[in-house]
Chains A and B, each alone.
Chain A
Amino acid sequence: MSVQGRLVLGTVNALIYVFLLAPILVVVIVSFGDAAFLQFPPRRLSLRWYTNLGEYPDFVASFWLSLLLAAATAATATAIGTPAAFALARHRFRGRALLSALVMSPLVLPGLVTGIALLQFFSLFRTEPSFGRLLIGHVVVTVPYVVRSVGAVLVGFDRSLEEAARGLGANAWTATRLITLPLIKPGLLAGAIFAFILSFDNVVVSIFLTTPRLVPLPIQIYNYVESSARPIIASISTLQIAVIVLLLAAAERVVGFSRYVGGGER
C-alpha cells in the first residue's frame, strides 16, 4: 500500500478506535471528578465518589452479590460444561447432534428470550425468588462458552499421552490429574473466565429474575441510569471494570489468555 493510503487508513482507524473506547474511558475519567454533578473533563480530581460509596449500601450489596454470583456461575458452568465438551469431542453416540445443538442453543437465542422463558417457568412454582434462580439462569447462558473453550483445546489433544500414562501404570485418576488436566488447563480457565465475565456483566437474564433484595450490579446500575446519570454510577462502574481487568491480568500470568479472548453479548 502507498504511504498516502496507509496514512488515510491509519487516520480513519485511529478515529474508530477512539469511538470504540470513548464511552468506557469517559466513565472512568468522570468517576475521579470532584463535583456533585457529572463534569467532563473534571476540574479537580478526587476520590470523593469512591470514599463515599458506603453511603450507597444498595450499590455495595449489589457489588458483592454479583461477585459471588459470577464466581458460583463460573464454577458451576465449568463443572457442567467440561464433561459435555469431553463427550462431544471424544465419543460418537446416539443423540450427539442433539446434545451439541442443546449445549449451543443458549448461544443462538437472544438472552432476553431466555430470561422471560425462565421467568415464566419459575412462576409456575410457588417458591420465593432466590439466589438459586439467578444462578440457574446464568449457568444456562454461560455453559455454551465453557463447552466451546474446552472443546477448542480438546481438538488438538493427543490421546496417546493419556494412554502412555496408563501403560506406565497410572490409574485413570492419576492420568487425568497429571496429564489431561494440565493440558486442557488453558481452555478450562478461559471457559471459567468467560462464564465469570458474562455473569458479572449480564443484564438480560438477571433483569427478569431479580427481587427487591437480590439486585445484581448491572441491574442496579441500569436502575440508577434510568432515573439519572449521577457520578456515583461512574465510580461503581469503574470498580466493576477494575474487577474484570484484574481477573484478566491474573489469568494472563497463569496462561497466555489473550489468545482466547473474543465473544459477544447474546
Chain B
Amino acid sequence: MLLLGVYFLLPLALLLAQSFRPLVIGQPAPPGLTLANYVRFLGDPFYLGTLRATLGLGIFVTVLAMTVGYPVAYGLARGRHRGKALLRLCVVAPLLVSVVIRTYGWIVLLANNGVVNQTLLALGLIGEPVRFMFTYTGVTIGLVHFALPVAILSLVGVIEAVDPALEEAARSLGAGPGRTFLRITLPLTLPGLAAGSMLVFALTVAAFVTPALMGGPSLIVLSTLIYQQMTVTLEWGFGAAVATILLVVATGLFLLYQRLLSLAPGVEQPG
C-alpha cells in the first residue's frame, strides 16, 4: 500500500504542482507558483476549441451509446433464451481486446479504400469514398464502439431491477408496447440511465487511442493535446495543467456517477 502511496499519490501531487509552475522550457523553473498555464489555456481559442471538441464528442457519443445500448441491455435483462451467456460474452469481448487493435479494425473498415467504402461503392450507393478517417464521423464511430460495452453493462442491472409485472400490468390494461416503454420502463430506468451516462461520458472524454489514431492532427481533443505537450513540445507545465482540467472533467463526473448510483436501485457497477 505504501507502494501505491509513493507511486500514485506522489506523482499525482507532483503533476498538480507542476501545473502551477511558470512556463519555462528546458530550464529549471524560477521559484513561485503561477496560474499562467491555466490562463494560457483559457485565453487561447485553439485550446478552448479542443475543450469544446472533447465535451461535444463526449455528449454526442454518450447519447448515442446509451441509445444504441438500451435495446441490447433490454434483450439481455429480459431474454430467457439459452444463448444469453454467449450474447453477454459478445458484449464483453471488445473490452478484452486492446483498444489499439479495435481501432486498427475500424481503420481497416473505414479507410478511404476500406471495407465499408468498397462495399458502398460496389453497391452503387455512393459515387466516391466517404471520408471517415480524420473526421468527426470516424472518431464518433470509434468512440461509440469504445463506450458501448460499458453503456450496455451499466444498463442491464438497471433494467433487471424493474419488475416485469409492472410492464405486464400496463400491457394488460391496454397500453401498446411503445406506450408501456415510455410510461413505465423508461421512467423507472431513468436514474440508472443518468448514472450510466456519467460513467460513459467520463470514459469517452478520457479516451486517447481512438482520437489519436482516427482523428489525427485535424481533430485534437484534450487527451491528444496532453500527449503532444508531454512528448513533442515538452511543455510539461502546460501539459500538466491540461491534464488537471481533464481530470476535473472526467473524475468529477465519475464521482457524480457513484453518487447517483447510491440513489438509483439495481445499478450494476462495471469496472
Chain A residues close to B by CB (< 8 Å):
1-2, 5, 9-10, 12-13, 16-17, 19-27, 30, 38, 40, 80, 84, 99, 102-103, 105-114, 116-121, 124, 136-137, 139-140, 143, 197, 200-204, 207-208, 217-218, 221-222, 225-226, 229, 233-234, 237, 240-241, 244, 248, 258, 261-266
Per-position contact with A for B108-126: 1 when CB-CB < 8 Å, else 0?
1101000100100000000
Residues of chain B from 157 to 178 with CB closer than 8 A to chain A in the complex: 177
Interface size class of B (residues with CB under 8 A): 35 or more
Q: Is B270 an interface residue (CB 8 A)?
A: yes
Q: Chain B's interface: helix, strand, loop or mixed, by majority?
A: helix
**Contact assessment for A105 and B108 in the assembled complex, using a CB-CB cutoff below 8 Å:** no
- Would you give the shortest CB distance from A138 to chain B, in whole angstroms? 11
**Contact assessment for A262 and B153 in the assembled complex, using a CB-CB cutoff below 8 Å:** yes
**Contact assessment for B106 and A116 in the assembled complex, using a CB-CB cutoff below 8 Å:** no
**Which of B34-42, B43-51, B235-243 interfaces with chain A?**
B235-243
Instruction: Identify the interface centre among A17, A109, A200: most chain B CB within 10 Å of its CB.
Output: A109
Per-position contact with A for B64-102: 1 when CB-CB < 8 Å, else 0?
000011011011000000000101111111111111111
Q: Nearest CB to that of A21 among chain B residues?
A: B90
Point out the residues of chain A lying under 8 angstroms from B240, CB to CB.
116, 120
Q: Nearest CB to that of B167 among chain A residues?
A: A1
Can you name 9 extra interface pairs (CB under 8 A) apart from A23-B102, A106-B8, A225-B213? Answer: A19-B148, A102-B8, A108-B255, A112-B206, A114-B12, A116-B230, A204-B208, A208-B231, A234-B108
Q: Nearest CB to that of A204 among chain B residues?
A: B208
**Contact assessment for A112 and B227 in the assembled complex, using a CB-CB cutoff below 8 Å:** yes
Point out the residues of chain B lying under 8 angstroms from A26, CB to CB.
105, 108-109, 115
Point out the residues of chain A lying under 8 angstroms from B212, CB to CB.
222, 226
**Contact assessment for A27 and B105 in the assembled complex, using a CB-CB cutoff below 8 Å:** yes
**Contact assessment for B271 and A119 in the assembled complex, using a CB-CB cutoff below 8 Å:** no
- Would you give the shortest CB distance from B189 to chain A, in whole angstroms? 16
Per-position contact with A for B232-271: 1 when CB-CB < 8 Å, else 0?
0000100110010011001100110000000000001011
Point out the residues of chain B lying under 8 angstroms from A204, CB to CB.
208-209
- Would you give the shortest CB distance from A168 to chain B, in whole angstroms? 33
